[in-house]
A and B are shown apart, each in its own frame.
Chain A
Protein backbone atom coordinates (compact mmCIF):
# COMPACT_ATOMS: atom_id res chain seq x y z
CA UNK A 1 0.00 0.00 0.00
CA UNK A 2 1.34 3.46 -0.93
CA UNK A 3 1.88 6.01 1.80
CA UNK A 4 0.69 9.58 1.57
CA UNK A 5 3.26 12.38 2.16
CA UNK A 6 2.12 12.92 5.77
CA UNK A 7 2.60 9.23 6.57
CA UNK A 8 6.04 9.44 4.96
CA UNK A 9 6.95 12.35 7.21
CA UNK A 10 5.64 10.55 10.30
CA UNK A 11 7.42 7.37 9.28
CA UNK A 12 10.67 9.34 8.97
CA UNK A 13 10.36 10.44 12.60
CA UNK A 14 9.69 6.83 13.58
CA UNK A 15 13.06 5.68 12.27
CA UNK A 16 15.95 4.87 14.64
CA UNK A 17 17.72 7.90 16.04
CA UNK A 18 14.97 10.42 15.30
CA UNK A 19 12.96 10.40 18.54
CA UNK A 20 14.23 7.27 20.28
CA UNK A 21 17.34 5.24 19.55
CA UNK A 22 15.63 2.15 18.13
CA UNK A 23 12.69 3.91 16.51
CA UNK A 24 9.07 2.77 16.47
CA UNK A 25 8.89 0.49 13.45
CA UNK A 26 11.31 -2.35 14.15
CA UNK A 27 11.71 -4.46 11.05
CA UNK A 28 8.11 -4.00 9.93
CA UNK A 29 7.91 -3.09 6.26
CA UNK A 30 4.15 -2.62 6.14
CA UNK A 31 2.78 0.89 5.64
CA UNK A 32 1.71 2.79 8.75
CA UNK A 33 -1.89 2.46 7.66
CA UNK A 34 -1.53 -1.31 7.35
CA UNK A 35 0.16 -1.65 10.73
CA UNK A 36 -2.57 0.37 12.43
CA UNK A 37 -5.47 -1.27 10.58
CA UNK A 38 -4.29 -4.81 11.17
CA UNK A 39 -3.77 -4.23 14.89
CA UNK A 40 -7.10 -2.47 15.24
CA UNK A 41 -8.89 -5.31 13.49
CA UNK A 42 -7.39 -7.72 16.04
CA UNK A 43 -8.71 -5.48 18.81
CA UNK A 44 -12.09 -5.28 17.18
CA UNK A 45 -12.29 -9.08 16.88
CA UNK A 46 -11.69 -9.24 20.63
CA UNK A 47 -14.47 -6.74 21.27
CA UNK A 48 -12.17 -4.14 22.77
CA UNK A 49 -11.63 -0.52 21.75
CA UNK A 50 -8.27 1.25 21.74
CA UNK A 51 -9.72 3.75 24.23
CA UNK A 52 -10.64 0.96 26.69
CA UNK A 53 -7.20 -0.52 26.36
CA UNK A 54 -5.43 2.81 26.86
CA UNK A 55 -7.67 3.66 29.82
CA UNK A 56 -6.71 0.45 31.62
CA UNK A 57 -3.01 1.00 30.91
CA UNK A 58 -3.28 4.58 32.15
CA UNK A 59 -5.10 3.41 35.28
CA UNK A 60 -2.23 1.05 36.12
CA UNK A 61 0.41 3.69 35.34
CA UNK A 62 -1.39 6.29 37.48
CA UNK A 63 -1.51 3.89 40.42
CA UNK A 64 2.15 2.96 39.94
CA UNK A 65 3.14 6.62 39.86
CA UNK A 66 2.10 6.88 43.51
CA UNK A 67 5.05 4.62 44.30
CA UNK A 68 7.71 7.07 43.06
CA UNK A 69 9.76 4.21 41.68
CA UNK A 70 8.69 1.62 44.25
CA UNK A 71 6.46 -1.31 43.29
CA UNK A 72 2.76 -0.70 43.98
CA UNK A 73 -0.13 -3.14 44.21
CA UNK A 74 -2.81 -2.39 41.63
CA UNK A 75 -6.31 -3.78 42.08
CA UNK A 76 -4.94 -6.79 44.00
CA UNK A 77 -3.97 -8.31 40.66
CA UNK A 78 -0.89 -6.52 39.40
CA UNK A 79 2.36 -5.22 40.83
CA UNK A 80 3.40 -2.13 38.92
CA UNK A 81 6.45 0.10 39.09
CA UNK A 82 7.18 3.31 37.23
CA UNK A 83 10.64 4.44 36.21
CA UNK A 84 10.74 8.06 35.20
CA UNK A 85 13.51 10.02 33.55
CA UNK A 86 14.16 13.70 32.95
CA UNK A 87 12.94 15.16 29.69
CA UNK A 88 10.06 14.67 27.31
CA UNK A 89 9.39 13.02 23.95
CA UNK A 90 7.32 14.51 21.15
CA UNK A 91 4.69 12.30 19.49
CA UNK A 92 5.92 11.15 16.05
CA UNK A 93 2.43 11.94 14.69
CA UNK A 94 3.28 15.62 15.32
CA UNK A 95 0.06 16.28 17.20
CA UNK A 96 1.77 18.71 19.59
CA UNK A 97 1.63 16.24 22.46
CA UNK A 98 4.72 15.76 24.59
CA UNK A 99 5.06 12.73 26.80
CA UNK A 100 7.15 12.18 29.92
CA UNK A 101 9.99 9.68 29.53
CA UNK A 102 8.28 7.16 31.74
CA UNK A 103 8.09 3.37 31.64
CA UNK A 104 5.60 1.25 33.58
CA UNK A 105 6.73 -2.26 34.49
CA UNK A 106 3.78 -4.50 35.31
CA UNK A 107 3.63 -8.07 36.64
CA UNK A 108 0.46 -10.12 36.82
CA UNK A 109 0.51 -11.56 40.35
CA UNK A 110 -1.52 -14.62 39.35
CA UNK A 111 0.20 -15.70 36.16
CA UNK A 112 3.65 -14.19 36.70
CA UNK A 113 3.46 -12.66 33.23
CA UNK A 114 5.11 -9.25 32.80
CA UNK A 115 4.69 -6.33 30.42
CA UNK A 116 6.34 -2.95 29.95
CA UNK A 117 4.83 0.11 28.37
CA UNK A 118 5.79 3.76 28.09
CA UNK A 119 3.59 6.84 28.34
CA UNK A 120 4.22 7.13 24.60
CA UNK A 121 2.69 3.66 24.07
CA UNK A 122 -0.50 4.71 25.86
CA UNK A 123 -0.74 7.90 23.82
CA UNK A 124 -0.01 6.17 20.49
CA UNK A 125 -2.63 3.47 21.14
CA UNK A 126 -5.32 5.82 22.38
CA UNK A 127 -4.88 8.60 19.85
CA UNK A 128 -3.47 6.87 16.79
CA UNK A 129 -4.27 3.16 17.17
CA UNK A 130 -0.55 2.50 16.77
CA UNK A 131 0.99 -0.40 18.69
CA UNK A 132 4.37 0.09 16.93
CA UNK A 133 5.88 -2.05 14.20
CA UNK A 134 6.85 -5.68 14.60
CA UNK A 135 10.33 -5.99 16.11
CA UNK A 136 10.24 -2.52 17.68
CA UNK A 137 11.60 -2.24 21.22
CA UNK A 138 8.29 -1.02 22.63
CA UNK A 139 5.94 -2.94 20.32
CA UNK A 140 2.85 -4.18 22.19
CA UNK A 141 0.96 -7.08 20.70
CA UNK A 142 -2.74 -6.15 20.93
CA UNK A 143 -3.92 -9.71 21.56
CA UNK A 144 -1.42 -10.24 24.35
CA UNK A 145 -2.16 -6.84 25.86
CA UNK A 146 -5.92 -7.48 25.92
CA UNK A 147 -5.37 -10.82 27.62
CA UNK A 148 -2.83 -9.38 30.08
CA UNK A 149 -5.21 -6.60 31.06
CA UNK A 150 -8.12 -9.08 31.31
CA UNK A 151 -10.26 -6.97 29.04
CA UNK A 152 -11.62 -9.88 27.06
CA UNK A 153 -13.45 -11.21 30.09
CA UNK A 154 -14.76 -7.77 30.99
CA UNK A 155 -16.40 -7.30 27.60
CA UNK A 156 -17.97 -10.74 27.44
Chain B
Protein backbone atom coordinates (compact mmCIF):
# COMPACT_ATOMS: atom_id res chain seq x y z
CA UNK B 1 0.00 0.00 0.00
CA UNK B 2 2.81 2.37 0.98
CA UNK B 3 4.54 1.59 -2.31
CA UNK B 4 1.42 2.47 -4.26
CA UNK B 5 1.07 5.76 -2.40
CA UNK B 6 4.74 6.54 -2.97
CA UNK B 7 4.35 5.87 -6.70
CA UNK B 8 1.25 8.09 -6.91
CA UNK B 9 3.10 10.79 -4.99
CA UNK B 10 6.13 10.59 -7.27
CA UNK B 11 4.02 10.70 -10.46
CA UNK B 12 2.01 13.64 -9.11
CA UNK B 13 5.20 15.47 -8.11
CA UNK B 14 6.83 14.93 -11.51
CA UNK B 15 3.63 16.08 -13.26
CA UNK B 16 3.53 19.25 -11.18
CA UNK B 17 7.19 20.04 -11.92
CA UNK B 18 6.61 19.45 -15.65
CA UNK B 19 3.50 21.65 -15.63
CA UNK B 20 5.48 24.41 -13.90
CA UNK B 21 8.29 24.14 -16.47
CA UNK B 22 5.77 24.30 -19.35
CA UNK B 23 4.02 27.33 -17.82
CA UNK B 24 7.31 29.18 -17.26
CA UNK B 25 8.59 28.28 -20.75
CA UNK B 26 5.31 29.44 -22.29
CA UNK B 27 5.54 32.73 -20.42
CA UNK B 28 9.17 33.18 -21.40
CA UNK B 29 8.75 32.17 -25.05
CA UNK B 30 5.68 34.34 -25.56
CA UNK B 31 7.11 37.35 -23.78
CA UNK B 32 7.90 39.80 -26.55
CA UNK B 33 8.62 42.65 -24.16
CA UNK B 34 7.90 46.25 -25.08
CA UNK B 35 7.66 47.10 -28.77
CA UNK B 36 7.43 50.41 -30.66
CA UNK B 37 4.90 51.05 -33.39
CA UNK B 38 5.79 53.78 -35.86
CA UNK B 39 2.85 55.23 -37.81
CA UNK B 40 3.24 57.07 -41.10
CA UNK B 41 7.02 57.45 -41.00
CA UNK B 42 7.37 58.93 -37.55
CA UNK B 43 4.22 61.06 -37.60
CA UNK B 44 3.14 59.18 -34.51
CA UNK B 45 4.88 56.57 -32.38
CA UNK B 46 3.81 54.56 -29.38
CA UNK B 47 5.28 51.91 -27.14
CA UNK B 48 3.16 48.96 -26.08
CA UNK B 49 3.37 45.44 -24.76
CA UNK B 50 4.27 42.87 -27.43
CA UNK B 51 2.15 39.79 -28.09
CA UNK B 52 -1.10 41.59 -28.89
CA UNK B 53 -2.71 41.97 -32.27
CA UNK B 54 -1.92 45.17 -34.17
CA UNK B 55 -5.65 46.02 -34.53
CA UNK B 56 -6.13 45.88 -30.74
CA UNK B 57 -2.90 47.76 -29.99
CA UNK B 58 -3.99 50.58 -32.31
CA UNK B 59 -7.49 50.65 -30.79
CA UNK B 60 -5.93 51.01 -27.33
CA UNK B 61 -4.21 54.14 -28.69
CA UNK B 62 -7.61 55.39 -29.95
CA UNK B 63 -6.62 54.70 -33.54
CA UNK B 64 -9.55 52.78 -34.96
CA UNK B 65 -9.04 50.65 -38.05
CA UNK B 66 -12.31 49.61 -39.76
CA UNK B 67 -13.39 46.07 -38.96
CA UNK B 68 -16.80 44.52 -39.35
CA UNK B 69 -16.09 41.06 -37.94
CA UNK B 70 -14.41 41.97 -34.68
CA UNK B 71 -10.95 40.70 -35.55
CA UNK B 72 -11.91 37.24 -36.81
CA UNK B 73 -10.39 37.64 -40.29
CA UNK B 74 -13.72 37.32 -42.05
CA UNK B 75 -14.40 40.83 -43.31
CA UNK B 76 -11.01 41.84 -44.71
CA UNK B 77 -11.60 45.50 -43.82
CA UNK B 78 -8.74 46.04 -41.38
CA UNK B 79 -5.98 46.29 -43.97
CA UNK B 80 -2.95 48.40 -43.14
CA UNK B 81 0.42 48.69 -44.82
CA UNK B 82 3.10 47.16 -42.60
CA UNK B 83 6.43 48.28 -43.98
CA UNK B 84 8.56 46.70 -41.28
CA UNK B 85 8.35 44.04 -38.59
CA UNK B 86 5.30 42.00 -39.60
CA UNK B 87 6.70 38.53 -40.33
CA UNK B 88 5.34 36.27 -43.07
CA UNK B 89 1.82 36.52 -44.47
CA UNK B 90 -0.60 34.13 -42.74
CA UNK B 91 -3.02 31.78 -44.54
CA UNK B 92 -5.90 33.56 -42.78
CA UNK B 93 -4.93 36.85 -44.45
CA UNK B 94 -4.13 35.73 -47.98
CA UNK B 95 -7.74 35.36 -49.25
CA UNK B 96 -8.42 39.05 -48.56
CA UNK B 97 -5.33 40.56 -50.12
CA UNK B 98 -4.80 40.99 -53.85
CA UNK B 99 -1.42 40.18 -55.37
CA UNK B 100 -0.71 43.90 -55.59
CA UNK B 101 -1.65 44.45 -51.95
CA UNK B 102 0.59 41.58 -50.89
CA UNK B 103 3.44 43.06 -52.92
CA UNK B 104 2.97 46.44 -51.25
CA UNK B 105 2.97 44.89 -47.76
CA UNK B 106 -0.71 45.20 -46.92
CA UNK B 107 -1.75 42.99 -44.00
CA UNK B 108 -4.87 42.32 -41.96
CA UNK B 109 -4.18 44.15 -38.71
CA UNK B 110 -6.37 41.68 -36.78
CA UNK B 111 -3.98 38.86 -37.72
CA UNK B 112 -0.61 40.58 -37.28
CA UNK B 113 0.92 40.00 -33.87
CA UNK B 114 3.28 42.58 -32.39
CA UNK B 115 6.43 40.56 -31.79
CA UNK B 116 8.97 43.32 -32.40
CA UNK B 117 9.13 46.98 -33.45
CA UNK B 118 6.83 47.69 -36.35
CA UNK B 119 6.35 50.45 -38.94
CA UNK B 120 2.94 50.95 -40.52
CA UNK B 121 1.23 53.33 -42.95
CA UNK B 122 -2.44 54.22 -42.53
CA UNK B 123 -4.70 56.76 -44.26
CA UNK B 124 -4.75 60.13 -42.54
CA UNK B 125 -8.55 60.12 -42.13
CA UNK B 126 -8.39 57.19 -39.73
CA UNK B 127 -7.04 59.57 -37.10
CA UNK B 128 -10.44 61.29 -37.16
CA UNK B 129 -12.37 58.21 -36.08
CA UNK B 130 -13.61 58.69 -32.55
CA UNK B 131 -14.90 56.53 -29.76
CA UNK B 132 -18.13 57.44 -27.96
CA UNK B 133 -19.68 56.13 -24.78
CA UNK B 134 -23.33 56.84 -25.52
CA UNK B 135 -26.61 56.00 -23.86
CA UNK B 136 -29.40 53.83 -25.24
CA UNK B 137 -32.21 56.33 -25.72
CA UNK B 138 -34.61 54.13 -27.66
CA UNK B 139 -34.82 50.41 -28.41
CA UNK B 140 -37.92 49.65 -30.46
CA UNK B 141 -39.14 46.56 -32.24
CA UNK B 142 -39.49 47.33 -35.94
CA UNK B 143 -40.43 43.75 -36.88
CA UNK B 144 -40.39 40.38 -35.11
CA UNK B 145 -36.59 40.23 -35.52
CA UNK B 146 -35.44 43.79 -36.23
CA UNK B 147 -34.86 46.55 -33.66
CA UNK B 148 -34.14 50.24 -33.93
CA UNK B 149 -31.40 51.21 -31.51
CA UNK B 150 -31.11 54.97 -30.92
CA UNK B 151 -27.94 56.04 -29.15
CA UNK B 152 -27.54 59.47 -27.58
CA UNK B 153 -23.95 60.66 -27.66
CA UNK B 154 -22.43 62.13 -24.48
CA UNK B 155 -23.30 65.77 -23.74
CA UNK B 156 -21.22 68.10 -25.87
CA UNK B 157 -19.93 65.40 -28.24
CA UNK B 158 -20.87 65.14 -31.90
CA UNK B 159 -20.21 62.71 -34.73
CA UNK B 160 -19.36 63.86 -38.24
CA UNK B 161 -20.09 61.29 -40.93
CA UNK B 162 -21.30 60.82 -44.48
CA UNK B 163 -24.72 59.25 -44.94
CA UNK B 164 -24.18 55.53 -45.63
CA UNK B 165 -21.15 55.05 -43.37
CA UNK B 166 -21.04 52.64 -40.43
CA UNK B 167 -19.96 52.48 -36.79
CA UNK B 168 -18.55 49.65 -34.73
CA UNK B 169 -20.60 48.63 -31.73
CA UNK B 170 -18.85 47.02 -28.75
CA UNK B 171 -20.76 44.51 -26.63
CA UNK B 172 -20.34 43.88 -22.93
CA UNK B 173 -20.17 40.36 -21.45
CA UNK B 174 -23.66 38.87 -21.08
CA UNK B 175 -24.99 35.38 -20.41
CA UNK B 176 -22.45 32.84 -21.62
CA UNK B 177 -20.48 35.55 -23.43
CA UNK B 178 -17.44 36.47 -21.39
CA UNK B 179 -15.61 38.77 -23.79
CA UNK B 180 -16.27 42.07 -25.53
CA UNK B 181 -16.80 41.74 -29.25
CA UNK B 182 -17.40 44.42 -31.84
CA UNK B 183 -19.40 44.40 -35.05
CA UNK B 184 -20.15 46.90 -37.80
CA UNK B 185 -23.60 48.45 -38.24
CA UNK B 186 -24.62 51.07 -40.77
CA UNK B 187 -25.82 54.38 -39.37
CA UNK B 188 -29.52 54.83 -40.08
CA UNK B 189 -29.84 58.45 -38.94
CA UNK B 190 -28.93 61.47 -41.08
CA UNK B 191 -25.62 63.33 -40.60
CA UNK B 192 -27.60 66.45 -39.61
CA UNK B 193 -28.49 64.78 -36.30
CA UNK B 194 -24.93 64.70 -35.04
CA UNK B 195 -25.77 64.02 -31.41
CA UNK B 196 -27.46 60.66 -32.07
CA UNK B 197 -26.67 57.47 -33.90
CA UNK B 198 -29.55 55.26 -35.04
CA UNK B 199 -28.83 51.62 -35.86
CA UNK B 200 -31.20 49.02 -37.32
CA UNK B 201 -30.22 45.56 -36.12
CA UNK B 202 -31.67 42.22 -37.16
CA UNK B 203 -31.32 39.29 -34.76
CA UNK B 204 -29.01 36.65 -36.22
CA UNK B 205 -29.56 33.16 -34.75
CA UNK B 206 -26.45 32.49 -32.67
CA UNK B 207 -25.20 36.04 -33.25
CA UNK B 208 -23.12 37.48 -30.42
CA UNK B 209 -23.60 41.21 -31.01
CA UNK B 210 -27.15 41.03 -32.36
CA UNK B 211 -28.05 38.80 -29.40
CA UNK B 212 -26.60 41.44 -27.10
CA UNK B 213 -28.74 44.18 -28.63
CA UNK B 214 -31.90 42.07 -28.76
CA UNK B 215 -31.61 40.24 -25.45
CA UNK B 216 -29.35 42.11 -23.04
CA UNK B 217 -29.45 45.81 -23.86
CA UNK B 218 -31.99 48.13 -22.20
CA UNK B 219 -32.99 51.76 -22.53
CA UNK B 220 -30.68 53.85 -20.34
CA UNK B 221 -27.71 51.47 -20.69
CA UNK B 222 -24.28 52.79 -21.57
CA UNK B 223 -23.04 51.68 -24.98
CA UNK B 224 -19.67 52.05 -26.67
CA UNK B 225 -19.33 52.76 -30.38
CA UNK B 226 -16.57 54.07 -32.66
CA UNK B 227 -16.70 55.59 -36.09
CA UNK B 228 -17.46 56.65 -38.69
CA UNK B 229 -16.03 54.10 -41.12
CA UNK B 230 -16.55 53.02 -44.70
CA UNK B 231 -16.79 54.26 -48.23
CA UNK B 232 -20.46 53.56 -48.89
CA UNK B 233 -21.81 57.06 -49.42
CA UNK B 234 -23.49 59.11 -52.15
CA UNK B 235 -21.30 59.72 -55.20
CA UNK B 236 -23.78 61.49 -57.49
CA UNK B 237 -21.19 61.64 -60.26
CA UNK B 238 -21.59 63.99 -63.22
CA UNK B 239 -24.54 63.11 -65.44
CA UNK B 240 -26.30 61.14 -62.71
CA UNK B 241 -29.95 62.07 -62.28
CA UNK B 242 -31.47 58.89 -60.87
CA UNK B 243 -30.59 56.78 -57.86
CA UNK B 244 -31.70 53.15 -57.68
CA UNK B 245 -31.70 51.97 -54.09
CA UNK B 246 -32.19 48.33 -53.16
CA UNK B 247 -32.33 46.79 -49.68
CA UNK B 248 -33.72 43.96 -47.63
CA UNK B 249 -34.02 43.37 -43.88
CA UNK B 250 -31.79 45.65 -41.80
CA UNK B 251 -30.19 46.84 -45.05
CA UNK B 252 -32.68 49.69 -44.93
CA UNK B 253 -30.39 51.44 -42.41
CA UNK B 254 -27.84 53.22 -44.64
CA UNK B 255 -30.49 53.90 -47.30
CA UNK B 256 -32.60 55.68 -44.67
CA UNK B 257 -29.62 57.88 -43.76
CA UNK B 258 -28.96 58.63 -47.45
CA UNK B 259 -32.62 59.46 -48.12
CA UNK B 260 -32.90 61.93 -45.24
CA UNK B 261 -29.59 63.51 -46.19
CA UNK B 262 -30.60 63.93 -49.85
CA UNK B 263 -34.01 65.33 -48.86
CA UNK B 264 -32.52 67.75 -46.32
CA UNK B 265 -29.96 69.01 -48.81
CA UNK B 266 -32.63 69.35 -51.49
CA UNK B 267 -30.58 67.37 -54.02
CA UNK B 268 -32.42 66.90 -57.26
CA UNK B 269 -32.39 63.17 -57.97
CA UNK B 270 -35.17 60.88 -59.06
CA UNK B 271 -35.02 58.13 -56.45
CA UNK B 272 -36.58 54.67 -56.50
CA UNK B 273 -36.10 52.58 -53.38
CA UNK B 274 -36.89 48.87 -53.85
CA UNK B 275 -37.26 47.08 -50.52
CA UNK B 276 -37.68 43.30 -50.47
CA UNK B 277 -39.38 41.31 -47.72
CA UNK B 278 -41.02 37.89 -47.51
CA UNK B 279 -44.31 38.85 -45.86
CA UNK B 280 -45.85 41.89 -44.21
CA UNK B 281 -44.39 40.92 -40.83
CA UNK B 282 -40.94 41.57 -42.31
CA UNK B 283 -41.86 45.00 -43.57
CA UNK B 284 -41.27 48.22 -41.61
CA UNK B 285 -40.72 51.97 -42.00
CA UNK B 286 -43.67 52.25 -44.41
CA UNK B 287 -45.13 55.33 -42.67
CA UNK B 288 -41.74 56.99 -42.55
CA UNK B 289 -41.17 56.32 -46.25
CA UNK B 290 -44.65 57.60 -47.11
CA UNK B 291 -43.82 60.83 -45.27
CA UNK B 292 -40.58 61.14 -47.23
CA UNK B 293 -42.50 60.57 -50.47
CA UNK B 294 -44.80 63.44 -49.55
CA UNK B 295 -41.91 65.77 -48.75
CA UNK B 296 -39.69 64.75 -51.65
CA UNK B 297 -41.81 64.31 -54.78
CA UNK B 298 -38.99 62.69 -56.78
CA UNK B 299 -38.82 59.83 -54.31
CA UNK B 300 -40.80 56.62 -54.52
CA UNK B 301 -40.68 53.72 -52.07
CA UNK B 302 -41.41 50.34 -53.67
CA UNK B 303 -41.82 47.64 -51.04
CA UNK B 304 -42.28 44.16 -52.48
CA UNK B 305 -43.35 40.97 -50.75
CA UNK B 306 -42.20 37.66 -52.14
CA UNK B 307 -44.73 35.52 -50.23
CA UNK B 308 -47.44 37.65 -48.67
CA UNK B 309 -49.52 35.79 -46.13
CA UNK B 310 -53.26 35.52 -46.75
CA UNK B 311 -53.98 37.79 -43.78
CA UNK B 312 -51.57 40.43 -45.12
CA UNK B 313 -54.20 41.68 -47.59
CA UNK B 314 -51.29 42.95 -49.64
CA UNK B 315 -52.06 44.94 -52.77
CA UNK B 316 -48.54 46.23 -53.39
CA UNK B 317 -45.79 44.73 -55.53
CA UNK B 318 -45.11 41.05 -55.23
CA UNK B 319 -42.18 38.89 -56.25
CA UNK B 320 -38.57 38.48 -55.33
CA UNK B 321 -36.57 41.68 -55.12
CA UNK B 322 -34.60 40.73 -58.24
CA UNK B 323 -37.85 40.34 -60.20
CA UNK B 324 -39.10 43.71 -58.98
CA UNK B 325 -35.85 45.47 -59.91
CA UNK B 326 -35.91 43.73 -63.28
CA UNK B 327 -39.52 44.86 -63.78
CA UNK B 328 -39.00 48.55 -63.00
CA UNK B 329 -35.41 49.46 -63.85
CA UNK B 330 -35.26 49.85 -67.62
CA UNK B 331 -31.63 50.76 -68.17
CA UNK B 332 -28.56 52.27 -66.54
CA UNK B 333 -28.70 55.65 -68.26
CA UNK B 334 -27.89 58.44 -65.81
CA UNK B 335 -28.25 56.08 -62.86
CA UNK B 336 -26.24 54.97 -59.87
CA UNK B 337 -27.28 52.04 -57.68
CA UNK B 338 -26.93 51.80 -53.89
CA UNK B 339 -27.50 48.40 -52.30
CA UNK B 340 -27.52 46.98 -48.80
CA UNK B 341 -28.48 43.46 -47.76
CA UNK B 342 -27.29 39.89 -47.34
CA UNK B 343 -24.49 38.61 -49.59
CA UNK B 344 -26.86 36.40 -51.64
CA UNK B 345 -29.29 39.24 -52.22
CA UNK B 346 -26.49 41.59 -53.24
CA UNK B 347 -25.00 39.10 -55.70
CA UNK B 348 -28.38 38.43 -57.31
CA UNK B 349 -29.30 42.12 -57.57
CA UNK B 350 -25.91 43.07 -58.98
CA UNK B 351 -26.46 40.43 -61.69
CA UNK B 352 -29.78 42.06 -62.61
CA UNK B 353 -28.20 45.52 -62.63
CA UNK B 354 -25.42 44.27 -64.91
CA UNK B 355 -28.08 42.92 -67.28
CA UNK B 356 -29.55 46.44 -67.41
CA UNK B 357 -26.21 47.91 -68.42
CA UNK B 358 -24.91 49.08 -65.02
CA UNK B 359 -21.13 49.07 -64.80
CA UNK B 360 -19.42 48.14 -61.53
CA UNK B 361 -18.35 51.74 -60.96
CA UNK B 362 -22.00 52.79 -60.74
CA UNK B 363 -22.97 50.13 -58.17
CA UNK B 364 -22.19 50.81 -54.51
CA UNK B 365 -22.59 48.50 -51.52
CA UNK B 366 -21.04 47.37 -48.26
CA UNK B 367 -20.59 43.62 -48.35
CA UNK B 368 -20.12 42.80 -44.70
Contact = CB atoms under 8 A, between A and B. Distances in A.
Contacts of A18: 179
A66 to B, nearest CB: 9
B208 to A, nearest CB: 5
A17 B182 CA distance: 11
Interface stretch (B31-39, B46-54, B65-73, B220-228): B65-73
Contacts of A96: 73, 91-95
Contacts of A82: 344
Contacts of A19: 72
A70 B206 contact: no
A86 B204 CA distance: 9
A69 interface: yes
A128 interface: no
A140 to B, nearest CB: 14
A17 B344 contact: no
B276 A21 contact: no
Nearest to A89: B74
A98 interface: yes
Nearest to B178: A17
Interface residues of A, number: 34
B206 A22 contact: yes
A19 B110 CA distance: 14
B176 A16 contact: yes
Interface residues of B, number: 43
Contacts of A17: 173, 176-179, 181, 208
B208 A68 contact: no
A147 interface: no
A87 B95 contact: no
A96 B179 CA distance: 23
Interface stretch (A36-44, A45-53, A99-107, A148-156): A99-107
Which of B72, B179, B208, B348 counts the most A-chain CB atoms under 10 A from its CB? Answer: B72
A135 interface: no
Contacts of B92: 90, 94, 96
Interface string A60-85: 00000101111100000000001111
A115 to B, nearest CB: 15
Contact of A100 (B202, B211, B343): B343
Contact of A21 (B72, B202, B207, B341): B207
Interface in A1-40: 16-23
Nearest to A100: B343
Interface string B241-276: 000000001110000000000000000000000001
A88 B368 contact: yes
A129 B112 CA distance: 29
A58 to B, nearest CB: 14
B321 interface: yes
B344 A20 contact: no
A83 B282 CA distance: 12
B205 interface: yes
Contacts of A89: 72, 74
B79 to A, nearest CB: 15
A69 B306 contact: yes
A128 to B, nearest CB: 15
Contacts of B205: 83, 103, 137
Given A84-B342, A86-B368, A96-B94, A68 B306 contact: yes
A65 B344 contact: yes
Given A21-B207, A68-B348, A84-B345, A90 B320 contact: no
Interface string B306-338: 110000000000001110000000000000000
B183 interface: yes
A98 B202 CA distance: 20
B278 interface: yes
A130 interface: no
A131 interface: no
A68 B322 contact: yes
Nearest to B212: A21
Contacts of B322: 68
Given A84-B345, A103-B205, 16 more contacts: A16-B177, A17-B178, A20-B207, A21-B206, A22-B206, A70-B320, A83-B205, A85-B249, A86-B249, A86-B250, A87-B74, A88-B368, A100-B344, A101-B207, A102-B342, A138-B206
Interface of B: 68-69, 72-75, 91-95, 173, 175-179, 181, 183, 202, 204-208, 211, 249-251, 276, 278, 306-307, 320-322, 341-345, 348, 368
Interface of A: 16-23, 65, 67-71, 82-90, 94-98, 100-103, 137-138
9 shortest interchain CB distances as A-B pairs: A17-B177, A84-B342, A90-B74, A16-B176, A20-B206, A98-B74, A88-B74, A90-B72, A85-B204
5 contacts: A18-B179, A69-B278, A71-B307, A90-B73, A97-B95
